[in-house]
A and B are shown apart, each in its own frame.
Chain A
């Protein structure tokens, strides 16, 4: 019995070599965890800074300027401020659930960083079921949000939590359907494997290498919209809807717990962007068909020297930030939708389209 479990477990781990793997098992574990945590705490800060600045400039402001050079340390300063704040728990709140909720939301966000490949060999784990793992874990976050909404003993928080639940269920479907289409085309669930498949994918009958963005643009659009809704980013931020619900499920939260929710949101933004980069934008490939300098292996994307590795990381982060910029842009440009519009859009437009997309990809996969 145990043998079966182990042998099954072993097959979950992919073959691609990671720079975080060492001969010593203990060292590997430490490095992998440190790597994932580092990613989780640094990249969202970059994304948050980008959001502050871009939003500021789009609103004829400057954004942060005082903390650190050009205000780059603003989010760090905010974090310190949050830690100093009083941690208030409402008397009527369900104490344990209330306290655990931000953690339940935050930890899955951290765990996803374990499988995100952000460069050639730069990832903690390459799971055979990477995509499945990422999507499954990301849906756990909603639990934390609903727990927070319920435990706050506040009608606004409860409404926010319910809205979040409804919204996440509605948008989980198109998100997953769009991702499945990519997995079908790539023939693998491993995130590294998908990057590899994209690097070798050519338009049928030609030798032109393209990213999955091209054949699956519809899927990309669905994934992008659904991801924004999943993250409750404006214009899909009904669970927070500060003009109707005070601050939704976060209404009663203060200090570090509030910061954890915010970090979950920013971390989620990076995770979703990174998934889109991997699924549709060719991972760390600069342009379709262009191998990274200093790299060999499939499509010139693997077995890289340090220079190529670094370049790969920079390219991935750059693509992630470009997607974050798109999300911020949409946030500034559009007002919030109404809750019923949001639900209608998901069930009547996105899900049928996602199913259509999946069917088309399946047929195409068989035909070509």
Chain B
């Protein structure tokens, strides 16, 4: 007997626990009457972004239940250049997931290398006939509208490669400048030696040699009774942090200028992250769709998507306004809360951009094409890039229109 308490105490404890629960509010969610409070990354249904799918078959092969059905055919694409080799391309004919077999393991979503499969939190697709649980391509595409935007990066997370590169580039410029200045004003000290090796991902300002500290932080910590050593080291890191923020803010402004036009506009909204609470919808869109005779479920899903779009546009606008303020503040030397709007996954395809099929027509963006040719790029490369530019612009246009609607 491992028990150390006198006999009966355990029995009394058991009774006490249960009686306490009797007077607690039950945690039941009254589901059909009350929408469940689902976390945004809930695994409700799998959505397919079919234009991203390259028919690589990874998902179908990895699925433990073998419940993904894919059919495709090969199409020959005529050579881009006279005398070139004709290419073949897979075209998706059928993509179906049998949700009566699926066990929601998420392996297919994980394994897809082209971001064609996504989790959506929608879960109300019960059917009276088991066959109806086989969702074909079109149905899977519809779920795409209900996919929430990807989550915001955590504070202090390693920034995405694109952002890190941009920061590193700007940093180099700044350091080169600083080195130049140091040469002019002061005898070459450690500060000048640093820039050469600086090439990390985050805006990393070398401060060890000089030992600059953030006076404000230092004073505060000392006032709080921290030891001199701790205060100094913390103030030092605070200084580095502030420097980084400043650099990042400047960088952000610079890249916005550099990119100009579409790309900058495309990059901005990405930064603004929207978490959709269960049931928040755009009433206008909802009413309109219902009026058009769409099903309640579809209307809700689309209205949700519209809500997300609007929220994002709004936040993007806010962020832009904030970035301007942040810039001036950064100049003043006290950048506090203005976290640099992350360019984040700027170039990554968003779940929702309006899909534009362009392969057949082969439209290109003439401007880009001319420019690339002028730069001496090969005809093939210029054409493909111009094509991509056209698609990008088209999508942007559609998104803008969608946002306005």
Contacts and interface: CB of A to CB of B under 8 A. Distances in A.
A and B associate in one complex? yes
Contacts of A60: 21, 24, 26-28
Given A329-B15, A334-B14, A58 B22 contact: yes
B28 A332 contact: no
A58 B21 CA distance: 5
Pick the most buried of A58, A61, A65, A329: most chain B CB atoms within 10 A of its CB.
A58
Interface string B17-36: 11101111011101000000
A217 to B, nearest CB: 15
Contacts of B15: 329-330, 333
Interface string A48-61: 00000010111111
A32 B11 CA distance: 43
Interface residues of A, number: 14
A333 B30 CA distance: 26
Contact of B26 (A62, A329, A333, A334): A62
Contacts of A334: 11, 14
B28 A57 contact: no
B18 A333 contact: yes
Contacts of B11: 333-334
Contacts of A57: 21-24, 26
Interface in A316-368: 329-330, 332-334
B21 A333 contact: no
B28 A54 contact: no
Interface in A233-270: none
A333 B22 contact: no
A62 B19 CA distance: 15
Contacts of B22: 54, 57-58
A35 B23 CA distance: 36
A329 B24 contact: no
Nearest to A334: B14
Interface in A17-76: 54, 56-62, 65
Given A333-B14, A334-B11, A334-B14, A59 B21 contact: yes
A58 B18 contact: yes
Given A329-B15, A333-B14, A334-B14, A62 B28 contact: yes
B264 to A, nearest CB: 52
B94 to A, nearest CB: 42
Contacts of B18: 58, 329, 332-333
A334 B15 CA distance: 8
B230 to A, nearest CB: 46
B87 to A, nearest CB: 61
Main DSSP-derived SS at the A contact region: helix
Contacts of B14: 333-334
Nearest to A56: B26
A349 to B, nearest CB: 12
Contacts of B28: 60-62
A329 B12 CA distance: 11
Nearest to B19: A329
Contacts of A62: 26, 28
Nearest to B13: A333
Contacts of B27: 60-61
Contacts of B23: 57
A61 B28 CA distance: 6
B36 to A, nearest CB: 15
Pick the most buried of B14, B17, B18: most chain A CB atoms within 10 A of its CB.
B18
Nearest to B16: A333
Contacts of A56: 26
Nearest to A326: B15
B17 A333 contact: yes
A330 B18 CA distance: 9
A60 B17 CA distance: 12
Nearest to A59: B21
Contacts of A333: 11, 14-15, 17-18
B23 to A, nearest CB: 8
A364 B19 CA distance: 37
A62 B31 CA distance: 13
B29 to A, nearest CB: 10
A65 B33 CA distance: 12
Pick the most buried of B14, B22, B24: most chain A CB atoms within 10 A of its CB.
B22
B389 to A, nearest CB: 57
A329 B11 CA distance: 12
A89 B23 CA distance: 44
Nearest to B27: A60
B25 to A, nearest CB: 8
Given A61-B27, A61-B28, 5 more contacts: A56-B26, A60-B21, A330-B15, A332-B18, A333-B17
Interface of B: 11, 14-15, 17-19, 21-24, 26-28, 30
Interface of A: 54, 56-62, 65, 329-330, 332-334
20 contacts: A56-B26, A57-B21, A57-B22, A57-B23, A57-B26, A58-B18, A58-B19, A60-B27, A60-B28, A61-B27, A62-B26, A62-B28, A65-B30, A332-B18, A333-B11, A333-B14, A333-B15, A333-B18, A334-B11, A334-B14
The 8 closest A-B pairs by CB, nearest first: A333-B14, A333-B18, A58-B18, A62-B28, A62-B26, A332-B18, A60-B27, A58-B21
